Structure 1
């Protein structure tokens, strides 16, 4: 939530509904972490090679980033339309 608060400090003078950005980033992080966990946890198994563990982590990270971008993007469109 600290990232959302920091970004809100920059946005609050430009966007009327900028306060929603705090919750948007909190929701985006939560959704991203959920996607990462749901994807990576079942794939990681004891005894796997370091390369495979890293590949699963990278793929999970990319899915997490895409999820966060989708959530924050949707909120940004909503906030801008409310202007």
Structure 2
């Protein structure tokens, strides 16, 4: 894999959080809060069919509903 392809992993402009959650004891909540609090300069897309919004952000039912392709997806669901 060429090094330029790694740029989107280490410096994403958009991140989909699959399994984002409102519940504080869930990994999906922690990841979402860390991205928001960490100063990500791009878009964050919570993905969870259980919610219409999380923390004031629209929540998408599935990845195919995102307005654009995310550079990085973090999967926060049980195996």
TM-score range, shorter-chain basis? Answer: under 0.3
Please give the TM-score of this superposition, normalised by the length of structure 2: 0.24
Structure number with larger C-alpha Rg:
1
**Structure (1/2) with the larger helix percentage:** 1
Q: TM-score, normalised by structure 1?
A: 0.23
